[in-house]
Amino acid sequence: METAIDSHINIVGLEKTINQNGNSVRILDGIDLAINRSEVISVLGPSGCGKSTLLNIIAGLDQPDSGSVNIDGLDFDSRLGSVGYMQQKDLLLPWRSVKDNVILGLEVKGMSKKQSYQIAESHFDSFGLSGFESNYPNALSGGMRQRASFLRTVITEPDVLLLDEPFSALDALNRSRMQMWLLDLLDEIKKTVLLVTHDVDEAIILSDRIYVMTSRPGKIHSVEKVPFARPRNRDMVNGNSFVELKSRILSFLWDQN
């Protein structure tokens, strides 16, 4: 394994078994991950391979049975609240305006409303939310809701972002637009990102490396390096190396489940 000393996130031998209707089900079976600082990696796998469990453990919401997660040397308790975790659903609070939703993380950390609004204000433009700050989430389109949820995740400036299928609720066209938007954003904010997805295109477009997982119990099957330099653009999906990489990954996933 390429467990470089200076990797930002270091995960070794993660195992997790859960109890489901009286049966013990093995979810994660010895996961090793090493992610460098400012690297974007994807975890790609069939549904039910334990991707969400993996993120819950990294975020500090769940404990592994064995193995260790090390982010900048932080232990379990202090990880909760310092790792940005964007779940599958946008989870905007319907009783808060867009503005009040995005500052939620600053608010629970005790920052004053005035100061949090100022910080939020400076981001609305690049997150395509200008003019909608005072609207309730139910007045927004799916893409805008997702961007608001994104802003809420990054506004507290965590070094690590965990993204759990962030665009799965969007239609194909909007998803593609959001991927391009995220690509630009990540180039700009330079975070260490772990993206979980089952969309092969999305994984290739966004990440530097792809961890391909087997179906339950989840194991790392292979690590693919994505051969595209940044900044990237939409045209790369037509290139030979893109198609080749995609078909190699797909043919493995095809045989799973």
Binding to other proteins, residues 31-60 (CB under 8 A)? 56, 59-60
Sort strands 160-164 and 84-86 into parallel, antiparallel or unpaired.
Answer: parallel
- x-or-dash pattern for other proteins, window 167-206, by CB under 8 A? ----------------------------------------
Binding to other proteins, residues 118-157 (CB under 8 A)? 136, 138-141, 144, 152, 156
Instruction: Give the integer Cα–Cα distance in Å for 126 and 103.
Output: 16
Among 63, 68, 76, 109, binds other proteins (CB under 8 A): 109
Among 65, 75, 107, 188, binds other proteins (CB under 8 A): 107
- Residue 151 or 226 with smaller CB distance to other proteins: 151
- x-or-dash pattern for other proteins, window 73-102, by CB under 8 A? -------xxxxxx-x-x-x-xxxx------
User: Tokens 């946008």 map to which residue?
Assistant: 90
- What's the closest the beta carbon of residue 14 comes to other proteins, in angstroms? 18
Sign of the alpha-carbon dihedral angle for 200, 202, 208, 213: negative
Residues 6+ apart with CB under 8 A from 140: 98, 132, 148
220, 31 Cβ separation under 8 angstroms: yes
Instruction: Give the integer Cα–Cα distance in Å for 59 and 41.
Output: 16
Residue 144: CB atoms within 10 Å: 20
Residues at the site binding other proteins, with contacts judged by CB under 8 A: 56, 59-61, 80-85, 87, 89, 91, 93-96, 104-105, 107-109, 136, 138-141, 144, 152, 156
